[in-house]
Amino acid sequence: MLCPRCQVDLAIEHHAGIEVDHCPQCNGRWLDHHELDQLEAASAPDADTRRGMIEYAKRDSELDCPVCGKRMVAFNYRANPLELDTCEDEHGWWLDAGEEGRVSDLIEDRVRGLNRAATAEQAWGEFLKGVGGGGTWNNVKNIFRGRGRR
């Protein structure tokens, strides 16, 4: 298989436990269609936290698919300022040099953000349980309803 940028033979390498095709000239990587999921899973083993649309702001790519030769589509990966290319026939994904690391970083950031949100939501729920039974909380609500103590 040839590199879509340099037209040189891609070499097989292992990255994060995934067999990928690597360009020795430009350092880009071709991931088969299922291998992007594997790269994400290596960064965030809990698959549910990674759900969501991968391709935002699709546009024509300048690259051709190394499998079928059709023009690929470029897109912003998960609405981030990271442009990847994909074959619309689901042959795979082209990641330029360093982009596989940025994919991993973005997934890890997303998981941390989701974990923070879940922790905050749980803490808020516990707070509401603690104050919902009357007392001070009802006094505060009554102040805003105009029935506060005078």
What sections of 3-98 are H helices per DSSP? 35-43
> Phi and psi at residue 41, in whole multiples of 5°?
-65, -30
| Lowest-pLDDT range of 27-31, 71-75, 90-94, 120-124 | 120-124
Length of the chain: 150
How many domains does the chain contain in total?
1
Segment 132-146 shows an average pLDDT of: 65
Range of the domain at 83: 11-141
Within-domain flag for 148: no
Within-domain flag for 90: yes
This prediction has a pTM of: 0.65
Within-domain flag for 2: no
What CA–CA distances, in Å, run from 119 to 14, 124, 127?
36, 9, 12
> Phi and psi at residue 62, in whole multiples of 5°?
-95, 0
Within-domain flag for 22: yes
Q: What percent of the chain has pLDDT over 70?
A: 61
